[in-house]
Every structure is written in structure tokens, then in C-alpha cells.
């Protein structure tokens, strides 16, 4: 296990389409986080899971955004009816519970909405 894995690395989609991204955390990590990073900005926290439970989702950007982690392992982030403003890097991170000190990030999925 070499780290947090995200797929795809790049996604180009037309406005109005739905997209789904996948994140595979480090296998022994129970916590999984999603962030969005736009150009020239730091990452912005969206949501997080502990095992399969989504413990914080109020920071998701709109009701077009949803995330799941059905079996407590990999997670998906879906954006419905994409807009040009959704173009960004979507980052996933994972950590041990209570060990926020060691949140490891994946390489991200870069979304371009045209």
C-alpha cells in the first residue's frame, strides 16, 4: 500500500453532466476526507467519514455534491449537473482516528468543466 489513491487523475466533462471520483485511502486509516482546491487557493474542506459514517457534510458546496463510503473503505464524491465553477482539483486524504496530525493526501483529481 503506497498511499492514498485517487481515480481518475484528470476529468474533462461538459457542463450539466454528472461526474464521480473515487478515493482509496491507506488501508488501515479509518478517517477519510474530501477537499477542493481551486487555482491559487489552499484546499477547502468539504466532508469527512469515520469508517462508513459521514460525520460532517455541512461544508459540501451545494446539494449537487454528495459523498459515500459504503463499506468503510473506498469513497466516492459525486457532482451532479456540473457547472464551470466546479472546475478544480478534488483532493482526498486519510488518517487514523484521532490522529489528525497524520492526514495523508492523494494526488487529486483535476476536474475541468467545459
Partner 1 sequence: GEDVEQSLFLSVREGDSSVINCTYTDSSSTYLYWYKQEPGAGLQLLTYIFSNMDMKQDQRLTVLLNKKDKHLSLRIADTQTGDSAIYFCALTSGGGADGLTFGKGTHLIIQP
Contacts to partner 1 by CB under 8 A: 4, 31, 33, 35, 40-46, 48, 50, 55-56, 59, 91, 93, 97-98, 100-108
Least CB distance to partner 1 at residue 62 (A): 18
The whole-angstrom separation of Cα 90 and Cα 78 is: 11
94 with 25: CB under 8 angstroms? yes
In this structure, what DSSP letter does residue 72 have? S
Whole-angstrom Cα distance, residue 113 to residue 91?
Answer: 17
- 45 within 8 A of 67, measured Cβ to Cβ: no
Q: Tell me how far, at minimum, the Cβ of 111 lies from partner 1, in Å.
A: 14
Smallest gap, in angstroms, from Cβ of residue 81 to partner 1? 25
Amino acid at each position: 500500500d503506497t498511499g492514498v489513491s485517487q481515480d481518475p487523475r484528470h476529468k474533462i466533462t461538459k457542463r450539466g453532466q454528472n461526474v464521480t471520483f473515487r478515493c482509496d485511502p491507506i488501508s488501515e486509516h479509518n478517517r477519510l476526507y474530501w477537499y477542493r482546491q481551486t487555482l491559487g487557493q489552499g484546499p477547502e474542506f468539504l466532508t469527512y467519514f469515520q469508517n462508513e459514517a459521514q460525520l460532517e457534510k455541512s461544508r459540501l458546496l451545494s446539494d449537487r455534491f454528495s459523498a459515500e463510503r459504503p463499506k468503510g473503505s473506498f469513497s466516492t464524491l459525486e457532482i451532479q449537473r456540473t457547472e464551470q465553477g466546479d472546475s478544480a482539483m478534488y483532493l482526498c486524504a486519510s488518517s487514523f482516528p484521532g490522529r489528525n496530525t497524520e492526514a495523508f493526501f492523494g494526488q487529486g483529481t483535476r476536474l475541468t468543466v467545459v
